[in-house]
Amino acid sequence: MGKKYLVTWDFAKRPSGTFYRILVEEFGSTFPGGEVALIQRSVARCRDDFVASRLAALAEYFGAKVDCFQVEADHIDEEARTEGRAFVERILYQRLHRRGRHPQKMNRKK
């Protein structure tokens, strides 16, 4: 997989529906198989820099503040994923403990 681009935009006021209609009409499907995949209402992943530059120009035309980011199609390695899961378990345990709820008590209810 090659490099992808994220385009983010922020409108000072809500844009007209025309912006989103043009986005869908000009860029095709807004789902992962198309040129642009909307991640949020104001964030899109683009298949290449050409598409990203067109989307950025469209958003700017409608008055948005726009940023573009190049993203490597690298994945998080297993060691980092394991550390991420351990982090989540640790903070959730701490939150339960502060509330006086202990994981052992929670397991008995199951």
CATH of the domain at 25: 3.30.70
Q: What is the pLDDT of residue 3?
A: 80
CB 67 within 8 A of CB 8: yes
57 and 84, same domain (yes or no): no
Amino acid at 63: G
Q: What confidence category does residue 1 fall into, taking pLDDT thresholds of 50, 70 and 90?
A: low
Amino acid at 55: L
pLDDT in tens, 92-102: 888 887 777 76
91 and 61, same domain (yes or no): no
Please give the residue range of the domain that contains residue 48.
4-71
Q: From 68, 72, 14, 63, select the one nearest 41 (Cα to Cα).
A: 14
Q: What confidence category does residue 108 fall into, taking pLDDT thresholds of 50, 70 and 90?
A: very low
**pLDDT of 2 strictly over 70:** no
Amino acid at 11: F
21 and 43, same domain (yes or no): yes
61 and 82, same domain (yes or no): no
Number of domains in the chain: 2
Q: What is the pLDDT of residue 106?
A: 46
83 and 55, same domain (yes or no): no
pLDDT in tens, 39-89: 888 999 998 899 999 999 999 999 999 999 998 766 778 888 899 999 999
